[in-house]
C-alpha cells in the first residue's frame, strides 16, 4: 500500500536530519546501529537432523508474512492497547502532526515510560539519547554495529552511516547494489547490520516487536528525522535474497497463499528503484538474548524523573520509566558468586534440574508482575498530576 500524501507529515513540521549541518551534534547524528540476534531454539533439532534440506527462502518469507498478517488481524483487540489506554489514532497523530499535539496528549504518550513514548511525545526532536534511538529503531549498541561494519568493510569504514550512504548513493545513481557493494557489505546491510541473520528477512519475533503499540509510528518518525530512507534496506535485502540458490517467491505466489504484503510505514518513502520495488518489509533486527542478559535494558542518559519541557514554558517532572523485563537467567545469575560470563551461566543453568529451573521462572514472573503493578500505579499518579496542572 502506498501511503497518500495526506498521511505524510505536514510541510510545516520540522524534520531535522543528520544532514542538516546547521543543527548541533545530537544522538540522531550517530544513527544506524544494529545488533547480533540470539541463536534460535534447538527444540526441533532432532527433526531437522533428518530433514534432507534447510528451510527454503519460500518458507521463511511465508512464515514471516503469515505471522505478520495474523498479528495485524489481532492488533485491534490486543491487551497492550487497552492496558496503556492510548488511542491508536494518537500514535498516528504523533507521527504525522507533531506540531498539533496538546500537552495532555504528550503527557499520555510520555506516560508509557519508554523510548517509544518519548520519541512520539517529547516536543524536542533531539530529546532521545543515542541508546533510545537504537531502541526505537530496534538496533543494537553502537559499538557492536561499529565493529560489524569495520569487519565487513575490512576497516575501510568505521560507521554504519558510511555503509548506508554508499548504498544509497548507488541507488540514487541507478547502479546495482551487487556492483557497488561487495558481498559482506551487502549482507550486513541486508541483515540490518547484524553479524548474522535470517537471510535479511524479519523473523516472527522481529515482526512482533514492530507490532507493539506505537512501535511502527515511532520508528517512522525517528527514521524521518534522521533522513533514513527505508528503500535502501529493501534494496539490499532483495539483492541479498537473489544471491541465494533458491528463487525468490513472486508476488503472485504470496497472493495465492492468501497473505497480504505489509504496508510501508507512514513517513517512509515508497521505493523508487526497481530493485527496491520487489521486496516485502525490510529486516528489523532486535537485540539478542546474550546482549539483553549482559547489558539489561538500554541505559537512558540522565536519571529517571528529570525535567522535560511540555509545550510552552511549562516545566514538569518526567514520567516514571518502564521497568526492564527480568528473566529467570537474570535471577539465577544474581544468585551466583562473582560475575560469570554468559556462556558459563548457561552451562550452570543447564545443569539445574527441571524443578529448579521452574522455581527461577516463577520468581521472574513474580518480579515482573510486581514491577509492572508499581509502574502502572506510578504512571496513573503522574498522569493525574499532569492533568491537574
DSSP state string for 131-180:
HHHHHHHT---HHHHHHHHHHHTTTS--SHHHHHHHHHHHHHTT--HHHH
CA dist 246 and 253 (Å) reads: 14
65 near 262, Cβ under 8 Å?
yes
pLDDT attached to residue 275:
32
pLDDT attached to residue 205:
57
pLDDT attached to residue 105:
93
114 near 323, Cβ under 8 Å?
no
What one-character DSSP code corresponds to residue 125?
Answer: T
Helix (H, G, I), strand (E, B) or coil at 19: coil
CA dist 227 and 52 (Å) reads: 45
pLDDT attached to residue 58:
54
pLDDT attached to residue 35:
38
pLDDT attached to residue 166:
93
What does the DSSP assignment read for 302-332?
S-TT-EEE-STT-EEEPPPPPPPPP-HHHHH
Backbone phi, then psi, for 216, in 5-degree steps?
A: -70, -35
Domain ranges of the chain: 5-313, 328-387
Mean pLDDT by 10 residues, the chain (389 residues): 39 37 48 42 44 50 58 55 81 94 93 92 88 80 82 88 90 88 87 64 59 88 86 83 52 37 38 33 33 35 34 53 81 77 78 88 86 84 82
pLDDT attached to residue 80:
64
Nearest residue to 223 (alpha-carbon basis) of 175, 264, 173 = 264
Model's pTM, two decimal places? 0.53
Helices (H), the chain: 45-49, 57-74, 79-84, 88-96, 103-110, 115-121, 130-137, 142-152, 160-172, 177-180, 183-190, 204-210, 215-226, 231-242, 251-256, 289-295, 328-335, 342-350, 354-387
pLDDT attached to residue 98:
93
The CA-based angle 380-86-364, given to 5 degrees, is 60
Amino acid at each position: 500500500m502506498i501511503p497518500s500524501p495526506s498521511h505524510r507529515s505536514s510541510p510545516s513540521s520540522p524534520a531535522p536530519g543528520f544532514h542538516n549541518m546547521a543543527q548541533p551534534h545530537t544522538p540522531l547524528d550517530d544513527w544506524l546501529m544494529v545488533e547480533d540476534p540470539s541463536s534460535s531454539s534447538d527444540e526441533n533439532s532432532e527433526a531437522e537432523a533428518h530433514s534432507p534440506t534447510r528451510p527454503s527462502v519460500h518458507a521463511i518469507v511465508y512464515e514471516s508474512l503469515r505471522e505478520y498478517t495474523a498479528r495485524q488481524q489481532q492488533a485491534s483487540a490486543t491487551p497492550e492497547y487497552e492496558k496503556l489506554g492510548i488511542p491508536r489514532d494518537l500514535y498516528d497523530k504523533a507521527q504525522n502532526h507533531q506540531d498539533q499535539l496538546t500537552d495532555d496528549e504528550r503527557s499520555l504518550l510520555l506516560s508509557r515510560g519508554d523510548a517509544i513514548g518519548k520519541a512520539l511525545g517529547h516536543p524536542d526532536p533531539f530529546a532521545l539519547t543515542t541508546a533510545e534511538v537504537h531502541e526505537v529503531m530496534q538496533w543494537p549498541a553502537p559499538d557492536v554495529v561499529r565493529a560489524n561494519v569495520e569487519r565487513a568493510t575490512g576497516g575501510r569504514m568505521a560507521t554504519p552511516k558510511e555503509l548506508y550512504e554508499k548504498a544509497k548513493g548507488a541507488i540514487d545513481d541507478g547502479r546495482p547494489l551487487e556492483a557497488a557493494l561487495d558481498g559482506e557489505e551487502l549482507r550486513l546491510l541486508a541483515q540490518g547490520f547484524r553479524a548474522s541473520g535470517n537471510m535479511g528477512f524479519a523473523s516472527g519475533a522481529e515482526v512482533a516487536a514492530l507490532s507493539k503499540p506505537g512501535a511502527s509510528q515511532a520508528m517512522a518518525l525517528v527514521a524521518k528525522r534522521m533522513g533514513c530512507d527505508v528503500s535502501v534496506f529493501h534494496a539490499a535485502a532483495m539483492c541479498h535474497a537473489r544471491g541465494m540458490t533458491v528463487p525468490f517467491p513472486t508476488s503472485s505466489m504470496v497472493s495465492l497463499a492468501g497473505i497480504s504484503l505489509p504496508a510501508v510505514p507512514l513517513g517512509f518513502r515508497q521505493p523508487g528503484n526497481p530493485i527496491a520495488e520487489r521486496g516485502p518489509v525490510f529486516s528489523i533486527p532486535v537485540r539478542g538474548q546474550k546482549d539483553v542478559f549482559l547489558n539489561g535494558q538500554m541505559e537512558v542518559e540522565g536519571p529517571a524523573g528529570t525535567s522535560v519541557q511540555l509545550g510552552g514554558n511549562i516545566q514538569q517532572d518526567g514520567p516514571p520509566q518502564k521497568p526492564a523485563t527480568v528473566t529467570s537467567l537474570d535471577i539465577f545469575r544474581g544468585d551466583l558468586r562473582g560475575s560469570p560470563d554468559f556462556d558459563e551461566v548457561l552451562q550452570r543453568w543447564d545443569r539445574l534440574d527441571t524443578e529448579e529451573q521452574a522455581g527461577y521462572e516463577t520468581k521472574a514472573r513474580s518480579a515482573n508482575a510486581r514491577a509492572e503493578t508499581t509502574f502502572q500505579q506510578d504512571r496513573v499518579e503522574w498522569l493525574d498530576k499532569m492533568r491537574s496542572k
